[in-house]
Amino acid sequence: MELVFATNNRHKLEEVGQILGAAYTLKTPADCGLTGDIPEEQDTLEGNALQKARYVKLHTGLDCFADDTGMEVTALGGAPGVRSARYATDGHNPEANMALLLKNLDGVADRTARFRTVIALILDGKEYLFEGEVRGHIGEVPAGDKGFGYDPVFIPEGYNETFAQLPPQVKNAISHRAEAVNKLAVFLKSYKG
């Protein structure tokens, strides 16, 4: 099955491709001639995922899915949340985002957090939502060179290493994105149309 994944983030594309497996061919918006930023102007992860999927469907006519992910920190009232990618600046700057997050947690005892991903699928004109989450806490300093985004500061429950230190196959088995993508994969495999 061929689907457009509404992302131009190669890390996400590879990660999701590994989880979905060889039965699925993923195309990016750029592969379909859709260049430029895809709008994400909503105030929830669900809203952003749907907005991105609808935008790609409107401009390509193809079945597609989009995701939105947020880091939700308990002591910060769920921030950065839907603003995770633009927490420190309007541009995607992971280092600045992590630095601001660590600064805002300086001296804070409760460092519990969760990563949450929502996937919106548009298939045969119908919309579906899938969610995944992983709980853990924010480390004191960034560690590791694998992954992307907040991975160097997020330590999942049951582990002593950050997502950026864990081997990709371990992260892909336990991550928020993995949970949401696995729900998507189960749905697609059983889909009758």
What b/e readout covers 75-110, taking b as 16+ CB neighbours within 10 angstroms? ebeebbbbebbebbeeeeebeebbeebbeebeeeee
| Residue 176 CB-half CA count within 13 A | 27
The Cα 169–Cα 15 span in angstroms is 9
Query: Is 67 one of the catalytic residues?
Result: no
Q: Please state, in angstroms and rounded to a whole number, the distance separating the CA atoms of residues 179 and 172.
A: 9
Closest of 190, 55, 66 to residue 128, by C-alpha = 66
Q: Which long-range contacts (CB under 8 A, 24 or more apart) does 164-168 make?
A: 168/15, 168/18
The single residue of 68, 90, 124, 145 carrying the catalytic annotation is 68
Q: Which residues are catalytic?
A: 68
